[in-house]
Amino acid sequence: MPTFFKTKYLIFMTEQNLILNILTFNHPVEQKDFAFYTEKRNGSFPINKYEFPVNIEEIFPEVKAQQLERLYTEFESSDDKKVVIKVNLTKSTLFAKHYYSWLILNHFKTVADVVNSNFVRDLEVWFSDKIESTPGYNAYKVFTLRVQIGRNGANQELVISHDGK
């Protein structure tokens, strides 16, 4: 006959003090023109169906029939006026989140040593830590930046966390 062992699991709860670094901001502009494409182009970024602007049917009527799963945009102005629509960033919040993340990415490409997207599509920025670096290795200070729309209030938010060295 088998013997069964009873074990007790102890769960230790440690007290955590979390500090949230949240900067709120207003939309710099309420509406902006964006070009969208059905095919990937050099320098374009994918926009999933759930991130489509609310008025995307103006240039792609097939969206209503749910035939498009992904579109591409360059987040910049285009000479091809057939594929440009004016997007209301206050109504198309998921698209706005993507756009603001792109703006932040482009800014930090010019000032950070490394810019990277993590597994949940948040932006990681790495800055060289000259004090902690040695001839044998380079040390970095790593921060994660996340754009949130209306999580802790009605405004857009930039959440900043320090991920350590």
| Contact status, residue 100 vs residue 121, Cβ threshold 8 Å | no
119-156 per-residue burial string, b: 16 or more CB within 10 A, e: under 16 = eeeebbbbeeeeeeeeeeeeebbbbbbbbbbeeeeeeb
**CB within 8 Å of 117: residues ≥ 6 apart:** 105, 123, 124
Phi-psi region of 122 (alpha: psi -120 to 50; beta: other; left: phi over 0): beta
* 119 φ/ψ sector (left φ>0, alpha ψ -120 to 50, else beta): alpha
Which residues 6+ apart lie within 8 Å of 115 measured at CB? 105, 108, 109, 123, 124, 125, 126
Tokens of 137: 């290795």
Task: Out of 30-39, 92-101, 143-152, pick the least confident.
Answer: 143-152
Domains of the chain, residue spans: 21-164
Whether 34 and 85 have beta carbons less than 8 Å apart is answered as yes
Looking at the predicted structure, is the pLDDT value of residue 3 above 60?
A: no
How sure is the predictor about 109, in pLDDT bands with cuts at 50, 70 and 90?
very high
Assess contact for 97 and 147: CB atoms under 8 A: yes
User: What percent of the chain is modeled with pLDDT above 70?
Assistant: 78
How many CB atoms lie under 10 A from the CB of residue 35? 21
pLDDT tens digits, one per residue of 23-80: 888 888 899 999 888 888 888 889 988 888 888 887 777 666 567 788 899 887 766 6
